[in-house]
Amino acid sequence: MSGFYFGIGRKCLNPEIPITLAGYFSVRMWEKVLDDIEVRALALKSEGKFAFIIQFDLITVSTELYEATIKAFANAGINEVTSSNLIMTATHSHTAPEVRNPKTGSNPNYVNFAAAKAADALRDALSDMQSGGSLEYGITAEHRFMFNRRYWMKSGQVVTNPGKMNPDILTSEGDIDPEIPIIAIRQNGKIKVLLANIVNHTDTIGGNDVSGDWAGFTIRTMQKELGAGSMVLPLIGCAGNINHFDVKSNCDQTCYAEAERIGVGYAAAISKALNALKPMSSNTFKTVHQTLNIAPRVLEASEIAEAQAVIEQYPDVVIDGVSGADLTSEDLAKRTPFALKFFAAKLLKMKDEKEIRNFLLTGIKFGDDAVIASLPCEPFVEIGMTIRKAIFGDYLTMVVSHSNGTGSLKFGGGYIPNAWNYGRGGYETTPRSSFTDKKTSEMLINKWREIADEF
């Protein structure tokens, strides 16, 4: 086969066994399915070379899910996939099964189930490779649904999710990134594959029911517009400090209707841009891959002493065996005794951690026009903007988070703040939520500068 080929496949990931939903501090065993969740597979081939994007409607691609999926590919006889040509990512839905096995309420059988479904989807994609397609690209923007969720307060500290209409809020701490880069494959005049890079948290519903959240609404809305046989992948950008809550409004933004409003809204913004897409100069692509080794976070003596003091301050607050408690980031913002002790205990468990995290970074460059760059875990928005604007400013660039594992089987990911975010407040920068060296953001950016030279 010569020329450009593409194939798509998808499989349902709805759970069939008892398992908690992911994304909160508490156990939430699933009860019913609001809308189907999927794994989607995109296979690309040009000049005899392959590139693959696998996307799960799950909280992240944990290292156990990544490794199980690679094994499932091998067991299925899919030999075209290597770490060098694969971006395996997730939509970060907070109403999907937990795939980080250290978490209470998780079930390793579901990880194997999801991995097997991914292999089935990719087998379908490879067996249905089609010619006659051409690559297009463009960009749109939608700012209405995203807010930097870390706020400077009158106290001089930063608080995450300080609550709606809070009179002590001064201003948000950082930026948002409303731009939505788009890459499409058009065949016989119709768009068959659509990638859209959206920077927002996929966490609008809550509760115990399975859903793909707003990303699912974006997929279904766009696929209905594009027609049968199309596939839409809303690739989630660097949204570690971004969510949909408008603190200046007291309306309910934790409900299924909110997921629909946001998902349909993103679809409308993308739809308006489709007629302005431009053909890429070439249907060829190149893949690159490097591993970045990151040391665990070094805890300061003052942090350890403070955590020990909190444990001693609340001897009657029970945290062991109550992982199902209704703990939220708002509880930490309010500094409730349970939240303080919960985070203090997590910190003390980490103080002797020595394991190196191995982050797998993969990039796909399309001709001289576009780049897709992967990042692990939950990077802050400024990291993605630096990669997009400062490193790959001459290209339309997608930076895709929650990709290629979380660096270790022992850890399920965590936030990657900017170096300047530490010491200001907010739960993302606590040792419980940010596991790696405080300079991880800088090391990731510098590594992508190196990778850019390979393109």
CA distances from 81 to 42, 73, 173, 439 (A): 12, 8, 41, 32
Residue 8: phi and psi, rounded to 5, are -130, 150
By mean pLDDT, which of 123-137, 246-260, 310-324, 407-421 is the weakest?
A: 310-324
pLDDT tens for each residue of 373-384: 999 999 999 999
d(Cα 55, Cα 63) in Å, to the nearest integer?
15
pLDDT tens for each residue of 307-328: 888 888 888 887 765 544 556 6
The verdict on 228 and 247 lying in the same domain is: yes
Helix (H, G, I), strand (E, B) or coil at 338: helix
Compute the chain's Rg from CA coordinates.
Answer: 21
Answer whether 0.85 is exceeded by the pTM: yes
CB atoms within 10 A of CB 368: 12
Helix (H) or strand (E) holding 261: helix 256-273
CB atoms within 10 A of CB 248: 10
Residue that finishes a domain, picked among 335, 350, 365: 350
The verdict on 85 and 31 lying in the same domain is: yes
Task: Tell me if 333 sits within 8 A of 159, measured CB to CB.
Answer: yes
The verdict on 153 and 55 lying in the same domain is: yes
pLDDT of residue 243: 97
Confidence band for 1, pLDDT divided at 50, 70 and 90: very low
The verdict on 346 and 242 lying in the same domain is: no
Residue that finishes a domain, picked among 350, 370, 394: 350
pLDDT of residue 403: 98
Is the pLDDT confidence value at 265 over 60? yes
d(Cα 377, Cα 367) in Å, to the nearest integer?
28
The verdict on 47 and 141 lying in the same domain is: yes
d(Cα 278, Cα 369) in Å, to the nearest integer?
10
Task: Tell me if 364 sits within 8 A of 313, measured CB to CB.
Answer: no
Is the pLDDT confidence value at 184 over 90? yes
The verdict on 323 and 370 lying in the same domain is: no
Write out the residue range of the structural domain in which residue 315 sits: 297-350
pLDDT of residue 304: 84
Both tokens of residue 20? Answer: 């908690």
The verdict on 424 and 317 lying in the same domain is: no
The verdict on 234 and 316 lying in the same domain is: no
DSSP state of 421: G
pLDDT tens for each residue of 275-294: 999 999 999 999 999 999 99
What does the CA dihedral 393, 398, 402, 403 come to, rounded to 10 degrees?
-90
Residue 334: phi and psi, rounded to 5, are -85, -5
Burial-class residue 301 by CB neighbours within 10 Å (0-12, 13-18, 19+).
exposed
d(Cα 381, Cα 200) in Å, to the nearest integer?
9
Helix (H) or strand (E) holding 307: helix 301-313
What does the CA dihedral 448, 42, 223, 112 come to, rounded to 10 degrees?
-100
Task: Tell me if 150 sits within 8 A of 158, measured CB to CB.
Answer: yes
Which of 41, 53, 146, 33 lies closest to 96 in space, CA to CA? Answer: 33
Q: Which residue shows structure tokens 């850019």?
A: 452
DSSP state of 296: B
CA pseudo-torsion sign 8, 132, 399, 77 = positive
The verdict on 230 and 214 lying in the same domain is: yes
Question: How many separate domains does the chain show?
Answer: 2
Which of 289, 274, 312 lies closest to 196 in space, CA to CA? Answer: 274
The verdict on 197 and 304 lying in the same domain is: no
Task: Tell me if 234 sits within 8 A of 263, measured CB to CB.
Answer: no
Q: Which residue shows structure tokens 């400013």?
A: 393
The partner residues of 231 in beta bridges, in order of sequence, read 193
pLDDT tens for each residue of 97-121: 999 977 788 899 999 999 999 999 9
Query: For the chain, first and last CA: distance in Å?
Result: 24
Query: Rounded to an integer, what is the distance from CA 389 to the centroid of its chain?
Result: 20
The verdict on 143 and 215 lying in the same domain is: yes
The verdict on 61 and 149 lying in the same domain is: yes
Confidence band for 341, pLDDT divided at 50, 70 and 90: confident
Confidence band for 154, pLDDT divided at 50, 70 and 90: very high
d(Cα 11, Cα 32) in Å, to the nearest integer?
18
Q: What is the mean pLDDT of the chain?
A: 93
By mean pLDDT, which of 3-7, 38-42, 415-419, 430-434 is the weakest?
A: 430-434
d(Cα 44, Cα 53) in Å, to the nearest integer?
9
What does the CA dihedral 74, 235, 277, 187 come to, rounded to 10 degrees?
30
